[in-house]
Chains A and B, each alone.
Chain A
């Protein structure tokens, strides 16, 4: 599957496991391929899964990043699911993974990921995007460059605008 990673469209071979209605986190079988599993699956099958190096974890929007506190360094991919593109909880999950748990691996947005939200997502620490399958990746890519400056600090910018630049009144008065 093609995704956006570090501002480029790349091929990607991770599979995102989503539980079917009749599956449970304890009993679902995780195939022997690179798989991003739900947090609940990781927590209940940790004994087996922790020996594999092809496992990533994804968060639902009501789950807490602290749940991975002790395991965070094991992963090269963590994903956050956006069940609706208007659900902003994933933004704080990403922020906390980066800032509070110092996660440095790939952070991927999955689910309802659309062009008009990715700029904000990249600011809070996402560096990979798996847009909704009906979307054109080239188009989504454009969403990453809509603004050239931001006022406030976040994961991508540790210093607010007022500390970074000399701010003076514009020469051309309105």
Chain B
């Protein structure tokens, strides 16, 4: 993975000094909260309902064992013994004190990490394919480009006060695992007919209140130009993006207002000034950065693994795990292993300090000391020898990291919801737990097969409800009750679609039964190997709707006995949300 040189380190060190001084001035009241807010946000620090939350950048989701141990250290020393991996491949700590944050940043800088631009109206941490470099379907490894763009976007002097946040995603596989269509800029690394490398550039995609799939602005942009081209897009957006209404300030609204043809014309007119200028990426720079992502020292493995086949035949749990959590690797004799952070009792994406240390140990032992974070909030060991799979599975099982549910019902995405976020209408994480309890049976989950269930606490859609096969959204409070809307038919990837709401909303306790009914219809109607989403697309919403609303759903309100769960409160101060 990429390693800092003296310049990277110096810039990050100077940031720690700058930020520490800002916190000092805030605590001394030399800086008003209004002035401090954008500063702390551009450093990933949010004020939440109960404490400060710090979002730490994990560039394109890649993490060393050493960095993972630092997370464990921070969890123990400054937080409540756990951290939270996000859908944008970052790490969040939820229970911090403002006074501690400078020391945390200094700790992070010592392992080449930071929290720069993980929030605020600027270019955010760039996300990428969690299987970059190892996926069997990869066309080009996107990581060198992601790193070059990370450096370009870091403290860009012109784009620190954009109308709104700006997210870039980059993918290099045939399958799009980075959801590039749902980003402000989506880049797909491709080869043209001549075998030259370039980017297909999408602009103006996004989830949120107005979900839109990005439009193609350039079919093939030679890689050398990617920085100058993106800069041209941002300059147009910085000047013309709306600033009067924050719900209309994303670039998607500008692209829609101008039309993609006119927007492209303006961008390319702007780009002409910079094209072929010094911002053009050189071969030397690409080589320098690409060198860090060279394949590790794989062993040559030719023999079949008879032991594995035997063990698999004898052990159903292991077979389930192989089927769901182990993915094909480019190199023969190797496999990609997903460590599931989705367990019945815990919030999706939470990892304890102990688990973090343990994952780091696994990485050291089995996967060249590296880990990745997936957009579904799980961890990946990307380079595991197949002959190590049994040992690894046994070890991971002991730590609760081997739930064989990747891509299944309980591999849910959930936003933080009302316990942490003041914009929320309803809780998300407790609902995720309730659903996980109801469908705990792994055989049932395997029978249902691939399905995506996503939960957001409000229409801002941080939990990707629009692209969930089943989407759950907390809606406007009626008498401060929690109500949820259920949508059906969303999907992401190249064949993405936005889900449609099935009807009137439900109470917290009713939601698991609603899901059960949707699944019953699927089980009744599916043919052969059809996935849930395929059945929905084939038969349409009607049979699902009819069955869900056919009879009343009775429910009992249970006392909340979960110690990590907090009742939502009514807030006087708006906008303390991870959405910003």
A interface list, Cβ under 8 A from B: 85-89, 91-93, 95, 99-100, 114, 116-117, 119-121, 123-124, 146-154, 158-163, 165, 167-170, 173-174
Contact = CB atoms under 8 A, between A and B. Distances in A.
Given A117-B160, A154-B158, A170-B4, 6 more contacts: A86-B121, A88-B160, A92-B239, A116-B22, A163-B282, A168-B5
B158 A88 contact: yes
Contacts of A159: 278
Given A100-B273, A162-B285, A174 B4 contact: yes
23 contacts: A85-B35, A87-B243, A91-B158, A91-B159, A95-B158, A120-B157, A120-B160, A124-B157, A146-B17, A146-B18, A148-B10, A150-B157, A151-B151, A151-B152, A152-B152, A152-B156, A161-B151, A163-B278, A163-B285, A165-B7, A169-B5, A170-B4, A170-B6
A149 B10 contact: yes
Interface of B: 3-11, 14-15, 17-18, 22, 35, 38-39, 64, 66, 110-112, 121, 151-152, 154-162, 227, 235, 238-239, 243, 273, 277-279, 282, 284-285, 288
Contacts of B243: 87, 89
B155 A114 contact: no
Given A146-B14, A162-B282, A123 B9 contact: no
B18 A167 contact: no
B155 A160 contact: no
A160 B38 CA distance: 27
Among A100, A165, A169, find the residue whose CB has the most chain B CB atoms closer than 10 A.
Answer: A169
A36 B6 CA distance: 44
B3 A160 contact: no
A1 B235 CA distance: 34
A160 B161 contact: no
B539 to A, nearest CB: 49
Contacts of A91: 157-161, 238
Contacts, number: 118
B161 A88 contact: yes
B279 A152 contact: yes
Nearest to B109: A174
Given A88-B158, A88-B238, A170 B5 contact: yes
A92 B152 CA distance: 17
A92 to B, nearest CB: 5
Contacts of A114: 35
Contact of B9 (A87, A163, A170): A170
B155 A150 contact: yes
A174 B66 contact: yes
A116 to B, nearest CB: 6
Shortest Cβ-Cβ A-B pairs, 6 listed: A88-B161, A123-B157, A120-B157, A162-B285, A151-B151, A91-B158
A92 B190 CA distance: 32
Nearest to A121: B157
B46 to A, nearest CB: 16
Contacts of B39: 116
B158 A86 contact: no
Nearest to B284: A162
A160 B66 contact: no
A8 to B, nearest CB: 21
A86 B161 contact: yes
A87 B285 CA distance: 33
A95 B235 CA distance: 10
Contacts of A165: 7
Nearest to B113: A174
Given A89-B238, A167-B7, A170-B3, A158 B278 contact: yes
Contact of A86 (B38, B111, B154, B279): B38
Among A100, A121, A147, A151, find the residue whose CB has the most chain B CB atoms closer than 10 A.
Answer: A151
A151 B155 contact: yes
A107 to B, nearest CB: 14
Contacts of B282: 162-163
Nearest to A161: B7
Contacts of A152: 151-152, 156-157, 227, 279
A148 B12 CA distance: 11
A92 B38 contact: no
A90 to B, nearest CB: 8
Contact of B279 (A147, A153, A168): A153
Contacts of B38: 85-86
Contacts of B279: 152-153, 160
A121 B158 CA distance: 8
A154 B279 CA distance: 10
Nearest to B234: A92
A116 B238 CA distance: 19
A149 B12 CA distance: 11
Contacts of A150: 11, 155, 157
A151 B5 contact: no
Contacts of B152: 151-152, 160
A13 B282 CA distance: 47
Given A114-B35, A163-B278, A174-B66, A149 B162 contact: no
A49 B166 CA distance: 42
